[in-house]
C-alpha cells in the first residue's frame, strides 16, 4: 500500500505498566510504501512484499494484553531497513557523496542490503539509476531514527524499573536450502544471540527449551546469529539482553496468495503459550 511521505514511523502498542522487563520488536513487518518509491523504481508492490517479514507483528499481537510493549515497523523494509546500522550505506547507490564515516565495507552493504536496500535479491535491483543522498537521507531522519529512539527508550525504562531488560527481536525466514540447515533439516525457529554475546546463556537456553517443549525444531545461531538490533542493543554487562527469533514462514504464511495460511491461528496460539512461559522464566531469574 502506498502512503504519504510523513506517515508515522512505527507502531507502539502497550497496555498499562509493564509487569516484566520484556519487550517485543518487529522491524521487518512493515507493509506501507510512499508513492515516490514507485516513481524511483520499476518494481511493483508484489515485488516489495516478497522482501517483508509478513504478518510477524500480527503473530505477536497478544503481547500488549500480557503487559508487553510491541514495537513494529510501519514502512516496508525495501524503503528503509530498521535492522541495519544507519551508516550501512552503499556509495554506488547515490549520485552525490554520502557521509565519510559510512560503513561501506559492511558485508550487507556489499551484498546490496544496506539501510536503504539497493536490491531485493542478488538478481533484483530496486533502482534503475542512482539516488540523491541529500534527498533520501530523510528516510533515516523520519523513520529509522524515531524507531530506534523509541526502542532505546523502552529498554532504558525496563532497566530503570527492573534492573535489566529483555528484547525479543522477531523475524520470519523463507525455506532454506539443505546446506544452510542443521543436518539438512529446515528449522521451525532459529534463535540468534550474536554467538553468545547479546544475552545471557541462560536466556538463550531457557527460550530454546520452552520452544522445543512446544514442539518446535529449534537451532541457535544457525544460520542466523542476529543482525544490527541484536548486536547494537545486546549488552548483558549493561543489563540489556537481546535475542533474535526467526520463524519459518511456511508455518503460517501462504506465499503464493500473500496471505496467512490456515495454520496461522495455531502458530499464534503456540507463540502466546511460549510468551507466557517466557515471562514466568524471566521472573524466576530476577
**C-alpha distances in angstroms, 181 versus 27, 177, 219, 226?**
24, 7, 9, 16
Dist. CA 48–CA 184, nearest whole Å:
29
At residue 172, the pLDDT reads 98
Q: What is the pLDDT of residue 284?
A: 86
Confidence of residue 10 (pLDDT cuts 50, 70, 90): very high
Query: Which pLDDT does position 7 carry in this prediction?
Result: 84
DSSP 205-231: HHHHHHHHHTT--EEESSS----HHHH
CA distance linking residue 216 with residue 213, whole number of Å? 7
Distances (CA, A) of 69 to 106, 129, 242: 31, 40, 15
Of residues 169, 188, 193, 168, the one with CA closest to residue 282: 168
pTM check: above 0.85: yes
Per-residue model confidence (pLDDT) at position 157:
96
What lies within 8 Å, CB to CB, of 143 at 6+ separation is: 9, 10, 74, 75, 79, 80, 82
Q: pLDDT by residue (tens digit) across 202-257?
A: 999 999 999 999 999 999 999 999 999 999 999 999 999 999 999 999 999 999 99
Residue 160 has pLDDT above 50, yes or no: yes
Domain boundaries, the chain: 2-284
Q: What share of the chain has pLDDT > 90, as a percent?
A: 91
Q: Which fold has domain 2-284?
A: Aminopeptidase (3.40.630)
For residue 76, pLDDT over 50 is answered with yes
**C-alpha torsion 283→221→146→158, nearest 10:** 10
Amino acid at each position: 500500500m502506498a502512503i504519504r511521505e510523513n506517515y508515522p514511523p512505527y507502531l507502539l502498542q502497550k497496555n498499562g505498566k509493564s509487569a516484566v522487563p520484556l519487550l517485543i520488536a518487529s522491524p521487518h513487518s512493515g507493509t506501507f510504501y510512499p508513492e515516490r518509491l514507485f516513481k524511483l523504481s520499476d518494481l511493483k508492490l508484489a515485488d516489495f512484499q516478497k522482501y517483508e517479514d509478513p504478518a510477524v507483528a500480527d503473530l505477536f499481537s497478544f503481547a500488549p494484553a500480557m503487559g508487553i510493549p510491541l514495537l513494529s515497523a510501519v514502512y516496508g523494509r525495501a524503503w528503509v531497513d530498521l535492522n541495519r546500522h544507519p551508516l550501512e550505506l552503499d556509495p554506488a547507490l547515490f549520485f552525490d557523496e554520502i557521509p565519510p564515516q559510512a560503513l561501506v565495507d559492511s558485508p550487507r552493504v556489499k551484498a546490496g542490503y544496506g539501510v536503504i536496500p539497493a536490491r531485493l535479491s542478488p538478481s533484483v535491483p530496486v533502482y534503475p539509476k542512482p539516488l540523491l543522498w541529500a534527498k533520501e537521507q530523510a528516510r533515516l531522519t523520519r523513520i529509522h531514527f524515531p524507531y530506534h529512539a523509541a526502542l532505546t527508550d523502552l529498554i532504558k525504562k525496563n532497566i530503570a524499573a527492573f534492573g535489566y531488560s529483555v528484547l525479543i527481536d522477531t523475524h520470519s525466514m523463507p525455506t532454506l536450502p539443505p546446506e544452510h540447515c542443521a543436518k539438512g533439516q529446515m528449522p521451525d525457529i532459529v534463535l540468534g544471540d550474536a554467538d553468545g554475546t547479546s544475552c545471557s546463556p541462560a536466556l538463550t537456553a531457557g527460550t530454546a527449551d520452552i520452544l522445543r517443549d512446544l514442539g518446535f525444531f529449534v537451532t541457535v545461531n544457525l544460520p542466523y546469529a542476529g543482525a544490527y538490533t541484536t548486536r547494537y542493543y545486546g549488552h548483558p554487562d549493561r543489563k540489556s539482553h537481546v535475542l533474535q527469533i526467526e520463524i519459518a514462514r511456511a508455518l503460517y504464511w501462504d506465499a503464493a496468495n500473500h496471505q496467512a495460511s490456515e495454520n496461522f491461528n495455531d502458530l499464534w496460539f503456540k507463540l502466546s503459550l511460549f510468551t507466557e512461559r517466557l515471562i514466568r522464566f524471566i521472573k524466576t531469574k530476577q
